[in-house]
Structures are given as structure tokens and as C-alpha cells.
Structure 1
């Protein structure tokens, strides 16, 4: 029998294998037992399959093993096999491909799948060769028979590997799209039930917190390699075309320090850790830090962020609290405002104010006298002190 397959570039060489009706009958009679032995060996020797045969997927795998063995027997017992093996045994190859897709959905790796095929080939060969000899095959014919057995295993294992790869690619693409959608919904502050549903669809387990990272686009790949694999990614940001948003799960507490260390030397801006449904709060803070020219850890810039939250309101407040100085010369008013700011921040400690302003303590005393003349008792009013501190801070 001669068989050549060009499926996906794979070619099976010519095999001179002659299976008499007696040999075929002998092998066919033991196929159910061989299937059971293959399954038992795989279960015992491949850890990933130890629990795989107890559920619905187990029946699928058993059926696939039976179809693969039956497909081989069909392949080996046809005298004039078409050149295309896929045409000769479509159920077996289609079953192998479907098996690969199912294994990917079950979370088992290609390595585990191919290991199962290797073990299955070993067990099947032992039984098939024994029955072939019992059925009358000459010992010298076993070499060709063995070559055909293992070429067939290569063929169906390649079909399964292709199914596994296709499923992973499809699943990965769909999952990325669903997780991107979840990130958009988080930024849009969707209702809790909508967020829960989106997380479920994306097969994303909600964490305790999410931390927003604004990352320059060229650095996204290298940073993703350093953070939690469940990190959400979103690159369609208003006014931030050069940046991508990453939402990192559970990067709070000590993990935040580890995250910041991993980001050293990069231009990423890190928002606060917030309950996962409040990720927009973290994003907005990182965004404001970016536009304020602040870098890295927003937790180190809380005062600046608070003071810059409403720039117009702060300007109005500043004009309001400095109104008593409005009639002075601009240069004098500026020096007095500077002195007042330092006096507030140093809680009236004249020597420290003088050191900060590089003036003599007597100059500070003189300026504070001017300020008390301008403000009067209001410099002793807690509400005015708070307003001055915020306005001049």
C-alpha cells in the first residue's frame, strides 16, 4: 500500500504493508480493549489527565481514541488508498482536530496532549503488533507496519496540535476583546451587575483592587511581562494617544512597592489601588498627574493633586485671600505673600522663615508687622488660616 499526504505540507512516505483479512479481523477484535489500555496508560502517566476522564470530556477523549485506532485500521487495510490521507480517513483526522480544540478549552497544554499521543502510540503498537503476528504477519513485515503506525500517530497528533493552536488563538482573541470591553465599562462606571457580567464573560476573576498605570505605548509589552497576567489593557484613551492604560489586579500594600520597583526607570504613572469597580478613580488620578507634569507614584503627589484639582477655583481663592494686599505695589505684595506662605508653613517660626527666604529674621518681623496691619485679627482666624494655606500652598 502506498500513501502520501500533503496536508499542511506533511508527506507520508510509501509503505509496503499488507494486511490480510485475517490480520484485520484479529486487530479489529481487540480495538475496544486497546482503547481502554491506552486511556489507562495516559491516565497513569500524564498528570494533566488524571482527572480528565471522569467528566463529559472523558467520554469525548475515549471516543477520539477509538476513532483514531479505527482510522488507522482503515488506513492500513486499504490497498489503493487515495494520495490524501485526510480524504481517506476524514472522521479520524476531524476527530483529532476537535479533540485538540477541546483540550485547549479544558486548559491542558500542547505538551500534555502530545505526551498522551506518545504513550498511546506505545501501548497501541504493543497490542497491534502482537495481534498482527498472531494473524499471520511475517516478522520482517513488522518494520513497515511499525513505520505506518507511528506515521499515523504523527498525522493525527499534528491534527490535534493544529486544533489546539486554533482554539488558543481564537479563545485568546475573543478573551482579549472581552477584557478590553470590561476595561471600557470600568472607565464608563457601568452598573455593578453589568461589570460582574462582563467579568464573567471575559473569564476574569475580579480582584480586591485595581491600580491604574499610564504606560507609554512602546513600553507596554515589557511592563505587561512584569505584572499580573490578569491585567486589563485599554489603548483608546482621550487626549492620550501615546499612552496605554493598564489596570493591574491586587497591587496594593507590599505589592505596590514591588510594582513601583518593577517600573523604575520608566515613564509610567501609577494611580492608587481602588476597589476593582472603582478603577476609574485610579485612572483619573493618574491622568491628572500626567497632565500636571508629575511622575511615577501619584501617592507621593497627593498635595499637588488636591491643590490642582480645580485650578480656576484656586486662582479665585488666592485673589480673595490676598485682597488686603491689592493696593500695595506688586513687588511689595509679592514679597509679603511669599513671607506669609512661609510663615504659615513654618507655623510662625521666624528663624526658619528667614532661612527659607534668605533674609534676616528682623526682615521677617518687619514684613509680618505689615501683614498684620493689612489683615488685622483675621490672621488669628482658623478659617482664614485654612484659606490662606490652601491658596498659597
Structure 2
């Protein structure tokens, strides 16, 4: 009886532990499988990454910050804004099963940003997707050469044939289309008859030509150690790059002209060390959207012209600041003089001393009138000695001094000058029309 009780206790202890161990393993496998298998449902406008900033900075936000779902599509540089190409590549990597176990659009966007694979000076755009996907997957997912095939202007049948050629070769095509006057990227899953089945980062639609029609203009060819015909998203993840044989595809080195453009784009200019350029300024610029790299030169020229205009405007603003500061100083001096003028006049009116402060202040030209008489405005009646200034004359001068100082201090003098100029211009036009 005792042995039976001991056996029962052992069973009661072992069975729950075994069950927990089995359930834990099953849960872990389910999580990994679900993560790898969810790639078809990834959208740039949904999920934790939708409102995250994938550009370096926008206003108070920096790379990786959540701007809020209400702001996810307001042109700040979130994944929902312009992250279609990054999401499309993450989808195809997910399908191939060659990425990290936790691969998703944001994980891939972080890799591209931190690895320096985005366009310098406008990191809303991808600069070097070839090296980006290669290093992300340890070489198991890569760009095929030739990489891009332009199909703009071709028939629907020719475009389908170009996509089918990539799929038949075991590749993972990403197609560039036109959308709202700009550019959009979608991942292609398969072809069923004349239907090209999409995995679209920006839409729930799955028919390429039903959704985008004739705007399909380019096919990009990615390949993997796992051909797309055999891919189900359940790969073991990236690792060290496997050696390839003679027939293995290797990323092609850029041409001399392409490398020169890359070097120029990545160069960090120090404005302070270039003769003739103004002092460095902390410019706040919105990302400039470029539909294609071929437009880069035009966009750079337009940005440079805009920058020149802003510099000239800054110089004009600086000149106005200097002029206004100078006039304000004159206004302060006039205000101080008006106070001294008041004190001197009152001092001479009540002082019993022989020294006359008001007369000294006006260099012997004016003196307070003891009788109330005035010769301030009468040039011919007094030939010798200072002119007599009564209280009325004093108040007129004091009012003019204080009024002029207030105009200078407040900047209203500019408005007065503008009114005078407009008046004379109107008078000139009126006389010329007589």
C-alpha cells in the first residue's frame, strides 16, 4: 500500500512538469513559426512600426520614436509615410526564411538605418539595398544581377513576362509602381493565370494590375539560397555568409560614376571651413521626396537655389536687425536727453545760483524766461544772448523729444516712413496722370 502511494505521488509530480515542458516548447515553436509566417500580412501602416520615425529626425522626434497613430501619415517620415520599399524587402526576406528569427519591417528598417544603407542627406530613401539585404541575412538573401529591369511603356503581357521570369528563376520580385504622382513598391508572391498576386505594404488588395494598372514601371530581382518556388517563410534565419561556387551570384560592384555619386552623397560638408560660405546654421528642412535616383541632380539643383534665396533673405533680415538696433539706441539717448532737459529747465527756474544748467546744456542758445515772455520762435527780435524759453516752448520741445524717442524705440518710425513714401508715390502718380 505504501509503495502504491509513493508511485501515485511520483506520477502526480512528474506529469504536470512534463506537460509544462511540452507546452513551453510548443508555444516557442508556435511563436517563431507565426513570426516567420506573418510576412504576408505586414503593412507599412499597421503594427507597432506604423507610426515610428525611420528618418533621422523630424522636429522634436528622432529615429525610432513613435509620433502617434494619428500622425503616422502626415509626412513626418514614418513607416506609414514612405516605408513601402523597406516593408516590401522585409516581406520577401520573411518569405525566404533567411532573415533573423525576429525579422519584421522595423527590425529591417533599423538595420538599414544604423548600417548606413539609406541615402545620406535624405535618409527617407534607400541608397544601398544590395549590401543592406546581404548583411542582414548573412548573404542568404541578395540582389541578383542584373538587378533592375525597366518595363515602363511596355504592354501588360510583357510586364507579366518580366515578373514571371524572376519567379521562374526562383527569385523574389519587388515591383515599382506609380501612386498619387509618386513612387510605391510592392512585393510579388506568385502568378495565377494573368493575375499577379501581391503582398502590398500599402494596401489590402492582392492583384497587381487591378490595383495599379499601367503604372507598373520596374521589376527588381532579389534571390536567395532558398528559391521562391520552395519558400514558405519557415527558414532558420540568417547566419554567417555561406561560400558560393563559381556560379553563385555575387553583388556587383558599382561603376566609377555610381561610386562617385555615392561618395558625394555621403560626404559631410563643414560649411565653416569653406571660403565664401556663411557661418553654419541649424537648418530645419523637411525630407525631399525623390521618385527615382535619376532625379537626384535636379532635386539637388532646386534645393541649392532655395538655399541661396534663404541665405539672401537671412542677410536682409540681419541688415534690418542692425538698422533697428541702431535706431533703438538713438531713441534711448533721446529719451535720456529729454529727462535731462526737463531737470535742467526746472533747475534753472528755481535755482538761486549764478550757474545756469539749462543754458549750459543748450550751449548758451536757450535760457528759461523768468517773466513768461518768449523769443524762442522770433529770430529778429533778439540779437544778443540766448533766446528766452517759456513753459509753452519747453513743453513743445519736450513732447517732440519724447515722441520721437518712442517712435524709434518701438520701431513705429518704419511705419511712419512707409506711409510718407506711399503718400509721395501716390502724389507722383496723380500728377503724372494729369
| TM-score bucket of the superposed structures, by smaller chain | under 0.3
As a proportion of its length, which structure holds more helix? 1
TM-score (normalised: structure 1)? 0.27
As a proportion of its length, which structure holds more strand? 2
TM-score (normalised: structure 2)? 0.25
Higher alpha-carbon Rg: 2
